[in-house]
Chains A and B, each alone.
Chain A
């Protein structure tokens, strides 16, 4: 079986968890005898290609036969995406974009299609444009290569998946790692439309958790029979252990992630204040950065716990690993989390973990303590218990490690392969 996979990033170039998941999954698929043709923009050549063949979308010169724009469009029925709805744009960029758009509108296709278009590969100001161009290149790739099924990861590549499907007639599987409802308080209608279109066009939809599956069914109105949950796994091979000198005598409870509304940082702070009232010999660390960071710092100051509550800012490279090895309890109080890979990393580092019931990863973990994100008392209870009752933290550590070790991409890939088969057989 051969799969044409559309992704956006691949180790070592990772801006988010998506790349790690793609990597683990393709390795797992390869072990299951599935061949993967991975398409991504701006492949720089130093990716691990042992399991996959990576096609750099920037290197694909489009076929002569596709040079006629109208001919191409009639085959693909291409969706023009205006970049003017990009969520993070300021007025000046907007004007510049519109002007550039107007100038290039007529010549755009021919111009870019005759040469190798350089993708930036990062989520940038002309994101929507890039998504659209990526889809055009996808069409060309689809017509050049032989495969049985198409697999597209997250909304950035749905359009590419659709284009490939139209050209090749092969079934399309889309993989939902997150929805627009998980990303922020404002749902961008353009992104939502693209997501919905991808889900509707797909023959099968894979979601990373039942939580996400419910969102796909309820918020996007997708037929439940074609939505399948395949939980993420985790791959710790090639990870070296760090020796860290511990400076603080107290136990450390850690929050690690973006400091944004969805991650529930303020519940962590409230619970920390409750714990500190009864046991002052503990330190809390909030590692990461985000738009709620300053608000959280003020909250900590107001609660009068700043001598026991520390902020590290964004952690790079080894510092993440270092932070885990300094931690005695890890907490992920997410308000909404499609999956959430960091608790698995914590458990792998022998750190007992508390997660919110509102995270996808809660569906696969038995030995993490689960609380509702809003239940500060329960969260404080759990923290206190893990700090003060060695028996429970021992159980959490030992079983947690085993549990995480059993979350193998091989097994997840087997389920993904089954989804491919049902898509190919039209079931």
Chain B
């Protein structure tokens, strides 16, 4: 059987908060910086989403079904597209129509709900799945959690929601000597298959592609295809998972990233490999072993754990306070409040409070609207305090 390359791109843009001062608490219900959100979305759409979608569409047509990719688009991003750049949705629909593109399921608000609340998690996943079905005509069968966060328990929960495949990170501290290039199963429910990201080969494109200090710069498609083939010598599938913004935004068009991607399918097929989507991969390859992940892992930072969002006391505090509100928010039965509550759960709000500056600071500062994690925390807590007041008012109102 031929060996496969599986591409999945993450599409997400957060709802950045505006500066919300103590004096605004109780006086102002407008939390989000619409100007920044719109400006950044337009910029990324023109540099990445639109040209990259065009490139992929053209590649799929040229290779007549042999080239395939998968996307996970957060519900937050979808809503921003609908509001500010509907043409991006259309171009994703055009990709969906080729039949060579799989859309994955995730939490609609790109949240950490899988760690905090089963009910919230399930709700957000269902919301996202129906959004995908509405837009692209198919209910997703593969799940990818926010930032590839995965543990045995989360996997089991996802399996119970009817998913057959879940994506995660090929974290070294989990795999040890094992290779990420096989299909694994969840340790609690063997019916859920797990695909693991090959972070070395993924990061060669996502982080190192334009790094002139890198020994392998410049990277071309043939050299890269050779690496893929070597990596797959004794294994089945190599999973290349990365942010979609890699194409054109993180790696600018001037670095040659688009030309690289365009040349890749031919180079890969010349090495005797093919492309598949995550659901095809799970059908095609036999799982080799259960994967034991007692503590949550993710694809972020050196640690590959949840410390990018929950690594210091500021983040813990903000997270605890957000999820402490869950019961009362749902009690309001107010759609607008519940929607705002989900937007406040976006993982990015917690990411901005991260104090790990040194190793992964450059990634953290990307798209970051705050100068310091402390400002991020203060601003978020002010917003949350106002939100709590609204929720309590609404509950009181409902009782009357």
Contact = CB atoms under 8 A, between A and B. Distances in A.
Interface in B359-394: 372, 374, 377-378, 381-382, 384-386, 388-389
A298 B313 contact: yes
B259 interface: no
A283 B381 CA distance: 13
A306 B23 contact: no
A17 B311 CA distance: 41
A45 interface: no
A302 interface: yes
Given A248-B26, A294-B374, A322-B23, A301 B389 contact: no
B321 interface: yes
Nearest to B393: A249
Interface string A270-297: 0000000000000101010000011001
B384 to A, nearest CB: 6
A246 interface: yes
B381 A306 contact: yes
A304 B384 CA distance: 14
B234 interface: no
Contact of A312 (B22, B27, B384, B385): B22
A238 interface: no
Contacts of A298: 312-314
A307 interface: yes
Interface in A241-265: 245-249
For chain B, what secondary structure do more than half of its interface residues adopt (helix, strand, loop), or is it mixed?
A: helix
B317 interface: yes
Contacts of A302: 313, 317
B293 interface: no
B63 to A, nearest CB: 52
Contacts of A246: 26
A247 B385 CA distance: 11
B345 to A, nearest CB: 15
A71 interface: no
A301 B384 contact: no
A170 interface: no
A7 to B, nearest CB: 34
Contact of A247 (B26, B317, B321): B26
A311 B21 CA distance: 9
Contact of A310 (B312, B320, B378): B378
Contact of B384 (A285, A293, A307): A307
A308 B318 CA distance: 12
Contacts of B26: 246-249
A312 B317 contact: no
A48 interface: no
Contacts of B386: 247
B321 A307 contact: yes
Among A304, A306, A308, the most chain B Cβ lie within 10 Å of the Cβ of A306
A319 interface: yes
B314 A307 contact: no
A250 to B, nearest CB: 9
A301 B21 CA distance: 18
Contact of B378 (A245, A247, A297, A319): A297
Contact of B374 (A247, A248, A293, A319): A293
Nearest to A293: B374
Contacts of A301: 312-314, 316-318, 377
A312 B374 CA distance: 12
26 contacts: A245-B27, A246-B26, A247-B24, A248-B25, A249-B389, A283-B385, A285-B22, A298-B312, A298-B313, A298-B314, A300-B317, A301-B313, A301-B377, A302-B313, A304-B320, A306-B314, A306-B318, A306-B377, A307-B321, A307-B384, A310-B25, A310-B378, A310-B381, A312-B22, A313-B378, A322-B23
- State the 9 A-B residue pairs at the shortest beta-carbon distance, nearest first: A247-B26, A301-B317, A247-B27, A301-B313, A302-B313, A310-B22, A301-B314, A312-B22, A307-B321
